[in-house]
Amino acid sequence: SSMQATSDFAQVINFYKTHYNITKVVSFGGSYGGMLTAWMRIRYPQLVDIALAASSPLPMMAKTAKPEQTFFQIVTNDFEMSDEQCPTIVRNGFSKLYRLYHQGSSSFDQITETFKLCSAFNESQFDHLVGWVRNAMLTMAMVDYPYSAEFLGSLPAWPVDAACKIMLNEMTKSNDPMKAIAEAAGLFYNGTNGQKKCFKIYDEFIECADLTGCGTGVEAIAWDWQCCTEFQLATPSNNVTDMFPPLEWNDEIVGKYCKEKYGVSPDPVRVSREYWSADFETASNIIFSNGLLDPWHAGGVLEDVNRRVKAILIEDGAHHLDLRGRDKKDPESVITARKQEVSLIRKWLKRN
């Protein structure tokens, strides 16, 4: 649990402060790590002097704020900024997939061939295939970095632009939107230098309590468990404000899933109760940074709370771009953000 994680970090920090005469500690973290780093400052202000929490949607996690935009709406906006035709291609691609599915087994060979599936498609795989495609699109929006990167997948620079270009090219070539979204999803799962001849969708995508993805392997199980106990990420898609098929995903549905899989029920107020994530007014020395390309930013702290709880917005930033290593392709907005972060940290260290 996050309580265990922060308690463990507290033990480690206390050891080093005691044995190595360390007087100041600055905590950095992105995504879930950003949530932990902010909570470290809140839970252990005697151990952590300053926290930089990047891409950490604490208000949304604690259900103390309702974002103006949904996660899937921001993903759609990212693709639309690349080319206004791309969300329409995605919508039409999903529509064709649904249409072929409802036509029955006579169309299943076409689905198998289009998505390059290693095993023949059958009706039991439909929801998972939709999730597999959706996961590719949203993850590329999350990691829409200005240079090639290996985080969450081997992807080219600006992967949303790359995926959009693939779809546009496919439409020029075949005028088949389903094939277009299949090729775009393939960019994510096969990578820039991928050698896969077919896709094993159950190995590459795991359904879980988090519609935005849990990853794969044991990490997926761990995050799924936390979403069933601590973090509630009920973010539905509607095909109106976003380009994805309508999918209802609420606390009741998540609760049923968690009860059946783990025998537990999510606690809707646990995060706000344990971490005081409803109000940072009396907190201090926390920087919340968010990239506006990152679909998670809508659930974060986007305005200064007080003089010592500051919000930094990065116009061209994806998921915790500011915490990644400096690169010559970094946009000016992240360079400026890092300077602001360093300035605040230096100022607060002097005051402390």
Check if 319 is active-site: yes
Q: Which of 144, 242, 294, 330 is catalytic?
A: 294
Which pLDDT band holds residue 160 (cuts at 50, 70, 90)?
very high
State the CB neighbour count (10 A cutoff) for residue 310.
20
Check if 31 is active-site: yes
State the CB neighbour count (10 A cutoff) for residue 151.
14
Condensed to tens digits (0 to 9), the pLDDT of residues 133-147 reads: 999 999 999 999 999
Instruction: Give, to the nearest 10 degrees, the angle between helix 177-190 and helix 86-103.
Output: 100
Backbone angles phi, psi at 137, to 5 degrees: -65, -45
**Mean pLDDT across the stretch 229-236?**
76
Residue with tokens 């632009």: 161
Cα–Cα distances (Å) from 229 to 33, 119, 226, in that order, read 18, 35, 5
Check if 2 is active-site: no
CB burial string 152-175: b at 16+ within 10 A, e below: ebbbbebbbbbbbbbbbebbeeee
Provide the pLDDT for residue 68: 66
Provide the pLDDT for residue 64: 59
Which pLDDT band holds residue 267 (cuts at 50, 70, 90)?
confident
Which pLDDT band holds residue 234 (cuts at 50, 70, 90)?
low
Q: Which of 27, 31, 55, 82 is catalytic?
A: 31
* Amino acid code (one letter) for 277: S
C-alpha 300/C-alpha 62 separation (Å) is 11
Q: Which of 112-116, 284-288, 302-306, 332-336 has the lowest mean pLDDT?
A: 302-306
Provide the pLDDT for residue 60: 77
**Mean pLDDT across the stretch 101-115?**
94
Provide the pLDDT for residue 196: 84
Q: Which of 316, 319, 320, 322 is catalytic?
A: 319
Provide the pLDDT for residue 65: 58
Closest CA to 190 of 178, 182, 181, 199: 199
Cβ atoms 39, 308 nearer than 8 A: no
For the chain, the average pLDDT equals 90
Condensed to tens digits (0 to 9), the pLDDT of residues 14-71 reads: 999 999 989 999 999 999 899 999 999 999 999 999 999 999 988 877 665 566 678 8
DSSP H helices, 104-158, are: 108-114, 126-142
Condensed to tens digits (0 to 9), the pLDDT of residues 281-318 reads: 889 999 999 999 999 998 889 999 999 999 999 999 99
Residue with tokens 């003089």: 307
Report pTM. Answer: 0.90
Tell me what percent of the residues of the chain surpass a pLDDT of 70: 94
Condensed to tens digits (0 to 9), the pLDDT of residues 162-206 reads: 999 999 999 999 999 999 999 999 999 986 567 788 999 999 998
Provide the pLDDT for residue 62: 67
